Structure 1
């Protein structure tokens, strides 16, 4: 790709600006003030880019992008890099799936529950965290043992509920 050349770009930018100004004048006459003003704004950009040296920057960016794309398309090592990138992504996804399907580690026995009323640094365990008690034994008549009801009545009386 050719290098940036001030001598050829100055006439090119001036020509683009003049063509744009002529088009803006036509747009002003046919479509009104807003269209003409917008056309003038766009028409002044080429010469403004040239005078601020931003056109050279844009030229370098475009040239670098074109060089990168042509290097990308025609370079076997780059395609090998893309292939390795794809393999890496696939392996990562497969490892996540395999991790979810791997056998779980054997569960270790839970620590023994502390006796009720013992003070700990974390305070008493919430009622939902306490292990569920087995259903109370039933007597021959199908009713629960009266000692369970006695305990419940005792608790209700302590809290003032009768």
Structure 2
């Protein structure tokens, strides 16, 4: 069947008429919002005919049908689908492997901490641990001062 063999006005007009009947039912059963949405969908076939868009829709439909029938009936196409699937699996596996290697690099292993000083001795400086006498006193601030830090940051940025 060819595009020019079809009388498009009766087809599009008929689809619009059937859609408008269903629109009436939608108005009665589900309310105005559903009815208006159904009316919008119902008018699309007639709009496609009047604008000439049905020719483009016909070409898209026939191309999709040719692609699917060529895919289903062609062993070469199935080989291409298999290669695409293999590619997708390789992407997923490589992403998982990369994620593991990045997480290993971020977190030190328990054995690595013991082996590191033997491999490369470092001069570590002793850190002072604050005691009750040397630790700075933390004074609880009232709730109104909770925003003072934020206000300071905003002022430094020129905001506010």
Structure having the higher helix fraction is: 2
Q: Radius of gyration: which is bigger?
A: 1
TM-score by length of 2: 0.48
Report the TM-score when normalising by structure 1.
Answer: 0.47
